[in-house]
Amino acid sequence: MKLLIIGCGGVAQVAIKKCCMADDVFTEIMIASRTKSKCDSVKEEMSGKTRAKIYTAKVDAENVEELCSLINSFKPAAVLNVALPYQDLTIMEACLRCKVHYIDTANYECEDTDDPVWRANYEKRVKEKGFTAYFDYSYQWDYAEKYKKAGICALLGTGFDPGVTQVFSAYAQKHYFDSIESIDILDCNGGDHGYPFATNFNPEINLREVSANGSYWENGKWIETKPLEIKRVYNFDGVGEKDMYLLHHEEIESLAKNIKGVKRIRFFMTFGQSYIQHMNCLKDVGMLSTVPVNYEGKEIVPIQFLKVLLPDPATLGARTKGKTNIGCIFTGYKDGRKKSIYIYNVCDHQECYREVGSQAISYTTGVPAMIGAMLVVKGVWNKAGVYNAEEFDPDPYMEALNKYGLPWKVDETPVLVD
Give the torsion sign (CA, 112, 113, 117, 118).
Answer: positive
CB 410 within 8 A of CB 276: no
C-alpha radius of gyration, the chain, whole number: 20
Distances (CA, A) of 415 to 138, 175, 238, 271, 330: 35, 20, 15, 20, 11
Using left for φ > 0, alpha for ψ between -120 and 50, and beta otherwise, residue 220 falls in left
Please classify residue 317 by burial: count the beta carbons closer than 10 Å to its beta carbon, then call 0-12 exposed, 13-18 middle and 19+ buried: buried
d(CA 43, CA 30): 10
d(CA 6, CA 82): 6
Of 50, 56, 87, 388, the one binding ligand NDP (CB under 6 A) is: 87
* Nearest distance from C-beta of residue 415 to ligand NDP, angstroms: 24
Of 161, 184, 253, 348, the one binding ligand NDP (CB under 6 A) is: 161
Closest CA to 218 of 187, 256, 254: 256
Each residue 30-59 as x (binds ligand NDP by CB under 6 A) or -, in order, gives ---xxx--x--------------------x
Residue 30: phi and psi, rounded to 5, are: -105, 125
Is position 388 an interface residue for ligand NDP (rule: CB under 6 A)?
no
Of 12, 288, 346, 371, the one binding ligand NDP (CB under 6 A) is: 12
Of 108, 131, 141, 201, the one binding ligand NDP (CB under 6 A) is: 201
Is position 160 an interface residue for ligand NDP (rule: CB under 6 A)?
yes
Q: Which is nearer to ligand NDP, 60 or 181 (CB)?
A: 60
* Nearest distance from C-beta of residue 83 to ligand NDP, angstroms: 4
* Nearest distance from C-beta of residue 144 to ligand NDP, angstroms: 20
CA angle 218, 118, 251 (to 5 degrees): 30
Q: Which is nearer to ligand NDP, 163 or 190 (CB)?
A: 163
* Nearest distance from C-beta of residue 349 to ligand NDP, angstroms: 14
Closest CA to 370 of 102, 19, 8, 10: 19
Distances (CA, A) of 241 to 39, 200, 325, 332: 39, 20, 11, 26
The residue at minimum Cβ distance from ligand NDP is 9
Is position 61 an interface residue for ligand NDP (rule: CB under 6 A)?
yes
Count of residues that bind ligand NDP according to CB under 6 A: 33
Alpha carbons within 13 A on the beta-carbon side of 249: 27
Interacting positions 204-233 with ligand NDP (CB under 6 A): 205
Where does this chain touch ligand NDP (CB under 6 A) — which range of 84-92, 93-101, 122-130, 397-405?
84-92
Is position 357 an interface residue for ligand NDP (rule: CB under 6 A)?
no
d(CA 10, CA 33): 13
* Nearest distance from C-beta of residue 418 to ligand NDP, angstroms: 26
Each residue 91-120 as x (binds ligand NDP by CB under 6 A) or -, in order, gives --------------xx--------------
* Nearest distance from C-beta of residue 4 to ligand NDP, angstroms: 12
192 DSSP 8-state letter: B
Is position 268 an interface residue for ligand NDP (rule: CB under 6 A)?
no
Is position 83 an interface residue for ligand NDP (rule: CB under 6 A)?
yes
Q: Which is nearer to ligand NDP, 64 or 150 (CB)?
A: 64
* Nearest distance from C-beta of residue 345 to ligand NDP, angstroms: 12
Is position 21 an interface residue for ligand NDP (rule: CB under 6 A)?
no
Is position 9 an interface residue for ligand NDP (rule: CB under 6 A)?
yes
CB 46 within 8 A of CB 17: yes
Please tell me whether the peptide bond between 162 and the residue prior to it is cis, using omega within 30 degrees of 0: yes
Is position 254 an interface residue for ligand NDP (rule: CB under 6 A)?
no
Q: Please provide the size of the chain in residues.
A: 418
Terminal-residue alpha carbon distance, the chain? 47
Residues that bind ligand NDP (CB under 6 A): 7-12, 33-35, 38, 59-62, 82-85, 87, 105-106, 157, 159-163, 201-202, 205, 313-314, 365
